[in-house]
Amino acid sequence: MTDAPVPGLPPVSPGTDVPLGPLTTLGLGGAAERVVVVEDDDTLITALAEADAAGRPTLLLAGGSNLVIGDGPIAGDTIVLRTTGTTDRSDDEDHVLRTVAAGEPWDAVVAASVAHGLSGLECLSGIPGTTGATPIQNVGAYGQEVADAIVAVRVHDRDTGETRDWDAAECGFAYRTSVFKGHGRYVVLSVTFRLQRTEQAQPLRYGELARAVEQADGPATTALVRREVLRLRRGKGMVIDPDDPDTRSAGSFFTNPIVAAADLDRFRARVAERLGPDVVAPEYPQPDGRAKTSAAWLIERAGFARGHARPGAALSSKHTLALTNRGGATRDLLALAHEVADGVEQAFGVALRPEPVFVGDAVWDPRG
């Protein structure tokens, strides 16, 4: 395999004892025993099969934007995904089915959809990583999720050797998860999106973005929405910028908690007890009677301000949901994460759950 760079992704060469930190947005992680770079699906499937047959552990790494890699060595094969390619076919006169290789940088995919007069991904602008990671996490932002646009995911099953297209229902999409998350059995090869032929943005569901677009000049086009999303994300340190230390993160570290219906009164009482009887936490009702609340709101009101730091790690100075590398190690970042999660649980009785995937000796212990 060549080591020709893919625009938007860090350069990488195959080899042994390769540091993985430079291949992640956090910039943290030990060295891989062996790195293999793959540029097409057949080579990827062969590399996985050979590693599985030899009993070697595998780590599939693409954009490295949602990974927390431990400080110790990473055994086995780290397979770096650099597959590319996009194809279109017509669905009907109003929609295009766009199939994108798993290794394509995600923001370039969103930018291309806007440039080509296609609507359905614009609110997901500025999210780092690659296309293949988006269905795994059911990536979402500003009221939009990739599940809203996905019609099929091409999947390789490592147990059976079968490769086929899964429809959206088979993917089990839910809030920031899918059947793929946490399971190495299924490997995403490409994703097919159904996009509308229009420069008009999809209806805006997120108040902050809707207000920003309303205050801007002109109609709510996909281009305008993309511009405003990027502006909002930059203000929160959520667009990768080598000159901004707040972007040395894995994005939002914690998911927004969902409180069970039976626990809502207890949660509201804890909020009132700590913050006063007139304070109401954000609640977003779910169809099953539960309510989603805001992790950032809880973190801040548990006493953790933006920029709160420990040696080697800190909360972003722009957004309390992002934990940033400040020259330390993965263990420093995890110590900060546990401090924050423990503080929120003690204050409000709500357990925060991490969003990134943990690799090697990086382990999330909910007990701290």
Rg (CA), the chain: 21
Catalytic residue among 65, 113, 252, 316: 252
The answer to whether 335 touches 352, Cβ cutoff 8 Å, is no
Position of tokens 């086995």? 76
**Whole-angstrom distance, CA of residue 311 vs CA of residue 326:** 8
Q: What is the distance between the alpha carbons of residues 206 and 208, in angstroms, rounded to a whole number?
A: 6
> CA torsion, points 258, 259, 260, 264, in degrees to nearest 10?
-150
Q: Which of 39, 122, 228, 355 is catalytic?
A: 355
Count of CA atoms in the C-beta half-sphere (13 A) of 123: 26
- Buried b / exposed e over 216-244, threshold 16 CB at 10 Å, is eeeebbbbbbbbbbbebbbebbbbbeeee
222-235 and 207-215 helices, crossing angle to 10°: 120
Q: How many CA atoms lie within 13 A of 209 on its CB side?
A: 26
Q: From the CB of residue 347, how many other CB atoms can be counted at a distance below 10 Å? A: 19
> Catalytic: 176?
yes
Catalytic-residue membership of 119: no
* Active-site option among 176, 274, 290, 331: 176
Cβ contacts of 264 within 8 Å, gap of 6 or more:
283, 290, 291
Could you count the other beta carbons within 10 Å of the beta carbon of residue 258?
A: 15
Active site residues: 176, 252, 355
